[in-house]
Amino acid sequence: MRSAAPSHALIAARKLSYCALQVRANDFERYLCTLVAPPEAREALFALYAFDLEIARVRHVVSQPMAGLIRLQWWREALTGIEAGRPPAHPVAEALHHEAWPRLSAARARLENAVAAHERELEAEVPIADLADLERHLEATGGEIARAALDLLGAGDERALEAGGRIGGAWALVRLLRALPQDARARRLLLPAALLERHGVALEAIFEGRGDARLAAAVAELAGWARGQLRLGRALRPHVPALARAALRPALFADLQLRRLRRAAYDPLAPALARPMPLAPLRLLWGHLRRAY
């Protein structure tokens, strides 16, 4: 259950900011990761992750692509206002300005890349052409946000940022697969069209909420890619300062979700995959004590 906690020290009883509440409610794994980040960086990380939630949820809350594009354009313009010292009257934009921008302004392009990638999600029912296209998409969403988190934590080494791209991309894929039932109901998939075609996956079956062995085979291939990215990202751990590794600890939860996916025979529509991970806090505490991710 989400109420389970590794210790009273990990989740302090205090009034949470708007961004922290949003991350806790909608991205519990990264909420936990932020709690073990250096205290002076936590609010900045919460602001960054709340921004990521705002732009990532657009495809789920609009019924027409144009409405989503307008929302994302608003966030692009909000970044311009934040950089100019005039954040719009939105709690996430204001938090980005006050908490994160002094350490994030040089990496504004990362956030703009993430906005642009989410715009692509609104283009068609299957906007991703092939696996290489999906890799670029995950790099521009989860990878860029993970690198921005490393920026906030002072990890500027090129190899640390490469680790961020790989770990962030793998975590973004895990989130994408977890959101697949919701995307299917909206008749929009972010799985590579060429991969689905190669495995003979029928789109209508997915849209109707029916998984089969062909879809499972395609998802198993994607899960293998994610595991490979996690391995490559972890191989770069010596280049990531210990105090910055909180930005990459979603990798611990990616492991848990990929194991659950395997137990579900790689059926991404299995209801069990949407449930909270009861061992998540303990997994995080163990990784934190070992300085691992």
Q: Does domain 18-289 have CATH number 1.10.600.10?
A: yes
- Residue count of the chain: 293
CB 54 within 8 A of CB 29: no
The pLDDT tens digits for 121-179 are: 998 888 999 999 999 999 999 999 999 999 999 998 999 999 999 999 999 999 999 99
Residues whose CB falls within 8 Å of the CB of residue 209, separated by 6 or more in sequence, listed in order: 181, 184, 185, 269
- CA-to-CA separations, 119 to 26, 70, 88, 159, 170, in angstroms, rounded: 21, 10, 21, 28, 20
The pLDDT tens digits for 72-87 are: 999 999 999 999 999 9
Which percentage of the chain shows pLDDT scores above 70? 95
**175 membership: H or E segment, kind and range:** helix 158-178
Tens of pLDDT along the chain (293 residues)?
333 344 434 444 468 999 999 999 999 999 999 999 999 999 999 999 999 999 999 999 998 999 999 999 999 999 999 999 999 999 999 999 999 999 888 889 999 999 999 999 998 888 999 999 999 999 999 999 999 999 999 998 999 999 999 999 999 999 999 999 999 999 999 999 999 999 999 999 999 999 899 999 999 999 999 999 999 999 999 999 999 999 999 999 999 999 999 999 999 999 989 888 888 899 899 999 999 99
